[in-house]
Every structure is written in structure tokens, then in C-alpha cells.
């Protein structure tokens, strides 16, 4: 009887620990995000990021974002992509526009594991605005507004972090509500 009670308590402990581990990471797009999965493995399950996933595939960035990292990805939602002028996404997904699409996507990626508390500290240390250098060569301006991190791209477009600190095995995702664009040439 004692062995049965101990086994039952052990099972309850494992289930509770699994639940607590899952509770640490927010749900994104109706899907659980798991810290032991990489950015691509998690993103493909978010119904709010189907456009981003299609773009990552079209740009040939799946292997990169599945790699060791660490990466911080500012991940625009489908609604963010829908705010772009009509036809923009379809045009960018064409093979002949791969270089432009890659540039846009890599302007959402930082080669670091930057949790929101670290970004907020950098903003404070830099007296309200911190330059964020991306893998794509863009410089985003990070600020804090009404308790939320905002990012301003090189054209003055502003994205708000709507879900912060979605931990991944190879970095972190911060969900944003706008697509950040590189400086117009």
C-alpha cells in the first residue's frame, strides 16, 4: 500500500512539474511553446504566425533559425503582415524576391538571447532609447512605452511587443504587431 501511495505521489509530482514547466512559457497562436524546442519547431504550431513561417521557408532561413543560436526573434503576427500594402506579402514570397524577403526577415533577428528584462535595462541604461543591431544589418530603436517595449524601424514604423519572453531552445521570441522594414534604398 505504501509503495502505491509513493508511486501515486511521484506521478502527481511529475505531472505537476510538467504543468509548471509549461506554465512558464506563454501560449502563442493557440499553441504551447516549449523551451526544449527551437524557434522553427515552435513557430510552425502558432496559428498567428503562418505567414511568418511561410516567409521563413521561402527565404531559406529554416535551417538557420533551427540552428544553435542564440537568437532573439521579433515575430510579426499574420495581422502584422496584413497591415502591409495589398499584394506585398505575395510579391515577397516569389522566388525572384528572395533576397529582399531575407533582408526583411533578418531585420527581425538579433544574434543574442535577449529577454525583455535585459532589453528594458539596456533602454534604461541608454537613457530611454537603445539601438538594436539585427542580423540583417538594420538598426531598430527600442523604447519602453506604457510598460511595453516598442521597436522603431529605420523608416519610422513602430512595432509593439505583445507577447514577450517566449523561451526557445535556441533563443527567445517576442511577438510583435507590425513588420519592421529595412531602410528604403
pLDDT for residue 123: 96
Give the Cβ contact number of residue 33 at 10 Å: 23
DSSP summary character for residue 81: H
CATH class belonging to 2-176: mainly beta
CB contact at 8 A, 110 and 134: yes
pLDDT for residue 13: 40
Question: CA quadruple 103, 109, 112, 114: dihedral positive or negative?
Answer: positive
- Best CA proximity match to 76, nearest among 168, 144, 145, 157: 157
pLDDT for residue 12: 39
pLDDT for residue 32: 86
Q: Which residue has the cell 534604461?
A: 124
Going residue by residue through the chain, which has 185 residues, state the pLDDT in tens, using 9 for 90 and above: 444 434 434 343 433 344 444 447 888 888 889 899 999 999 999 999 999 999 999 999 999 999 999 999 999 999 999 999 999 999 999 999 999 999 999 999 999 999 999 999 999 999 999 999 999 999 999 999 888 999 999 999 999 999 999 999 999 999 999 999 999 74
pLDDT for residue 31: 84
Measure the CA–CA gap between 59 and 66, rounded to whole angstroms.
Answer: 14
HSE at residue 81, side-chain half, CA atoms within 13 A, is 24
Would you kindly state where each structural domain of the chain is located, as residue ranges? 2-176
pLDDT for residue 89: 94
Joined grid coordinates for residue 73: 526573434
pLDDT for residue 14: 39
Q: Left (φ > 0), alpha (ψ -120 to 50) or beta: where does 60 sit?
A: left
pLDDT for residue 93: 94
Give the Cβ contact number of residue 172 at 10 Å: 25
Amino acid at each position: 500500500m505504501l509503495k502505491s501511495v509513493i508511486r501515486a505521489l511521484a506521478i502527481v509530482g511529475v505531472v505537476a512539474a510538467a504543468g509548471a514547466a509549461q506554465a512558464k512559457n506563454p501560449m502563442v497562436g493557440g499553441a504551447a511553446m516549449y523551451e526544449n524546442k527551437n524557434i522553427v519547431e515552435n513557430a510552425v504550431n502558432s496559428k498567428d504566425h503562418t505567414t511568418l513561417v511561410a516567409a521563413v521557408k521561402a527565404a531559406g532561413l529554416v535551417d538557420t533559425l533551427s540552428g544553435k543560436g542564440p537568437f532573439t526573434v521579433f515575430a510579426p503576427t499574420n495581422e502584422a503582415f496584413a497591415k502591409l500594402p495589398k499584394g506585398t506579402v505575395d510579391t515577397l514570397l516569389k522566388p525572384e524576391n528572395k533576397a529582399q524577403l531575407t533582408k526583411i526577415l533578418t531585420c527581425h533577428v538579433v544574434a543574442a538571447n535577449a529577454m525583455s528584462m535585459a532589453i528594458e535595462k539596456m533602454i534604461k541604461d541608454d537613457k530611454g532609447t537603445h539601438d538594436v543591431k539585427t542580423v540583417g544589418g538594420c538598426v531598430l530603436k527600442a523604447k519602453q512605452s506604457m510598460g511595453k517595449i516598442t521597436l522603431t524601424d529605420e523608416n519610422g514604423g513602430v512595432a509593439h511587443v505583445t507577447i514577450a519572453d517566449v523561451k526557445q531552445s535556441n533563443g527567445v521570441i517576442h511577438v510583435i504587431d507590425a513588420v519592421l522594414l529595412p531602410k528604403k534604398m
